[in-house]
Structure 1
Amino acid sequence: MDAATGGATGEVGREAEGDGSTSGEMAEEEADPADDVPQVRAATADYSWEELSQISRLISSAGSDAEGIEVARRYHLCTEDGRLDGTQTKSLTLSDGTTVTMQVAGFNHDQRADGSGPAGITLVSRGTVASRAMNEGDETAGGWRDSDLRAWMNGELASLLPHEVSSVIAVVNKPTNVVGETADASSVVMTQDTLWTLSYSEIGGHMSTDDSAHDAVFNAEGEQYKLFSDLGTSWDAGNQHLQIAGVEYWWERSPDPLDGRYFMCVGPDGTPWYARVPSEVQGVVMCFCV
């Protein structure tokens, strides 16, 4: 979500869908159809969505997180030293013409809702896919679970995905505070989502202040994604990688446990520590797993 490359609705991504051919030097391995192992290509953008789904299964079936990252490294889904730096991207065009750049956010991070284990690859849009209110009214009770934005993302927005994407997406469990204002971490429950937007802790990492009870609510909404950890994103500081050109604020799925009037947002300076009333129209960042 670099300010220099992020964009609002309708942004044309830099990467085009590849046909399997790339220019320049490229490491290749012959695929074994029996093993359903895709050919190694030069960059994330060069894989089909089906191939990314196949690689995801290889990552999720690896014996450890380290082995999963090694699979990702071999397929050029991270840097040679195993990091995510925001360049692992693939362009996606919705059926309404909106084009957005998806970037790899993490590996084996999200658990499949059917109980079959982790989804190997999570992606997050660098730009926004729309501008929407979290709720038509200013309710925060029910949190992301009962929000109008969640219903829209998992309904109308999901229907705009091309078949080659929707056919490989995994439904996953997402932790979410369903009370709103609360100091009780048990208020965080799992929702099952095809598409979602990020939580405060998934962006900024573990929160630690003098208010340990409210910190626990924030922290219960998920671990920080590898992308944001590798980019040095913090819950209490601005980060250029979270800035989106032309977008002042974009939604997080976290209601503010400190104040029942608000949901959390990433602000103009790339700090995740902002809060807005749910009826305001803000940018929507999209996440999904393959």
Structure 2
Amino acid sequence: MQRHFRLGGGVAPKTIRLRGQSIIEYVLIIAVIGLVIVFAGPGVAGAIRNQFNLVGNTLNSGTNGGTEGGAAGGGSTGTGSATVQAAIAKDAKDWTLGEQKAVAEDIAAKGEASPAYAKAKAAMDAGTKFSMKLTDGQTLEYRIIGINHDDLADGSGKAGLTFLTTSRDIRSRMNGSETSYGGWEKSELRQKMNSGEIWTLMPSDFQSKVKSVRKLTNNVGGGSANKNASVTATTDKMFLLSYSEIVPTSYWASSFPWTSSEGAQYEVFKSEVGKAYLRNDGSWERSASPYDSANFLYVMGGAAENSTHAKATPCVCPAWCF
């Protein structure tokens, strides 16, 4: 595969957690302490009051401390976590991979009620770019193109954020021969992106965070003999965009119905920022060319209807979800 890169103190107090006692037991203890205070002298009463306060503080620690690290506690994991709060507090372009994933999971769980939703949408609408170092030392840039758009492969719901590469530096053929037979599912390029040389370009920290999603494609191939082909699902960690995920309406809808069924248009392509993507250098789509069995579609010159033979080497712009 040919690749081109242009990028060139004190001690903190410990939280006390009590286990094995119920709330009722604590209430009984407090009631007994109150009776003793009534009949005790002033000195004894003062000492008992100190113990009363200690029990109360311990009770609070024992009951509230159980949420530490969870959604309500604002800890370091889970939705509503300290990681999400840290992401909200900074410029989105500075989000780490961990913060991107935490924001995505919070949005997947809460939708627009997530405190991070507005920040993520603003970043998508503005075309905010993120970057990461690849294993060969080069830099990959990418941005958000969808929010709660893609279906998780395990059926548990939506992936919070979908990202698309904006760098135009990775190039590869789709297949070793000029054919679209087997579509995206059987393509050489899909293998490279999910377990082969393109996947291994990605750092391990990134690989561990990617969510597998379900992508719909005509996995039969193009040509008039397949004009009524059905779309089928593949499970992908990294994928190319389909034609219908880029455009609002298929140019070939009446002649080749499947061209409208390979996934819904991503939100970003409804905006001017997204439309600028179409004016960049050519990049592969995962859709077979409708009219012949040798080509796949690619984006070029402001349109997503271009096609070229499967052995050509347009840019590869991987997409993925957190």
TM-score relative to the length of structure 1: 0.78
Cα drift, residue 262 of structure 1: 1.3
* Separation in structure 2 between the aligned mates of residue 163 and residue 261 of structure 1, nearest angstrom: 35
In structure 2, what is the Cα distance between the partners aligned to 1:223 and 1:251? 18
Structure 1: distance between partners of 2:251 and 2:299: 18
Aligned partners of 1:10 and 1:97 also within 8 Å:
no
1:218 aligns to 2:218 (yes or no): no
SS at match of 1:145: coil
- Once the two structures are TM-superposed, the CA of residue 225 in structure 1 deviates from its matched residue by 0.7
Shift of 1:95: 0.5
Q: Is the 8 A contact 1:94 1:160 kept in 2?
A: yes
Higher RCO structure (Cα 8 Å, ≥6 apart): 1
For residues 168 and 189 of structure 1, the distance between their equivalents in structure 2, rounded to whole angstroms, comes to 25
Select the structure that is richer in strand: 1
- Give the corresponding residue for 1:97: 137
Please point out which of 174, 179, 203 is paired with 1:134.
174
Gaps in structure 2 of 5+ consecutive residues: 9-72
Equivalent residue, structure 1, for 2:279: 243
SS at match of 2:161: strand
Paired with 2:220 and 2:142, the residues of 1 have a C-alpha distance of 31
Task: Determine the C-alpha separation between the residues in 2 that align with 1:116 and 1:108.
Answer: 12
- The residue number in structure 2 matching 1:17 is none
The equivalences for 1:59-78 within 5 A come to 59-62=107-110, 64=111, 66-67=112-113, 71-73=116-118, 76-78=119-121
Q: Does the CA contact (< 8 Å) of 1:9 and 1:98 recur in 2?
A: no
- Deviation sequence 1:188-227 (CA, Å, 0-9, x none): 1111111111111111123256x5241x211111111111
Q: What code does the residue aligned with 1:50 have?
A: G
Q: CA deviation at 1:104?
A: 0.4
The count of residues paired between Structure 1 and Structure 2 equals: 246
Matches within 5 A, 1:1-290: 9-12=4-7, 32-33=74-75, 35-37=80-82, 38=84, 39=86, 40-62=88-110, 64=111, 66-67=112-113, 71-73=116-118, 76-79=119-122, 84-155=124-195, 156-181=197-222, 182-186=226-230, 188-207=231-250, 212-214=254-256, 216-231=257-272, 239-244=275-280, 247=281, 249-267=282-300, 269-290=301-322
Q: Is the 8 A contact 1:9 1:127 kept in 2?
A: no
Could you tell me how far 1:139 is from its partner in structure 2? 1.5
CA 212–203 in structure 1, closer or farther in 2 if over 3 Å, else same? same
Report the Cα offset of residue 9 of structure 1.
3.7
Match in the other structure for 1:27: none
1:136 Cα offset (Å): 0.6
Structure 1 CA distance, aligned partners of 2:131 and 2:7? 8
Contact 1:135 1:148 in 2 (8 A): yes
Helix, strand or coil for the counterpart of 2:259?
helix
Decide whether aligned partners of structure 1 residues 169 and 129 sit closer, same or farther in structure 2, where only a CA change above 3 A counts: farther
Cα distance in 2, alignment partners of residues 281 and 258 from structure 1? 20
Structure 1 gaps, min length 5: 1-7, 14-30, 234-238
One-letter amino acid of the counterpart of residue 145, structure 2? A
Conserved? CA contact 1:10–1:98, under 8 Å: yes
More displaced, 176-185 or 147-156? 176-185
Q: Higher helix proportion, which one? A: 2
C-alpha distance 232-103 of structure 1, shift in aligned 2 (>3 A): closer
CA contact (8 A) 1:10 1:100 kept: no
CA contact (8 A) 1:129 1:286 kept: no
Distance (Å, rounded) in 2 between the aligned partners of 1:86 and 1:220: 28
1:3 maps to none
Calculate percent identity across the aligned residue pairs.
29
Moved beyond 4 Å, runs of 4+: none
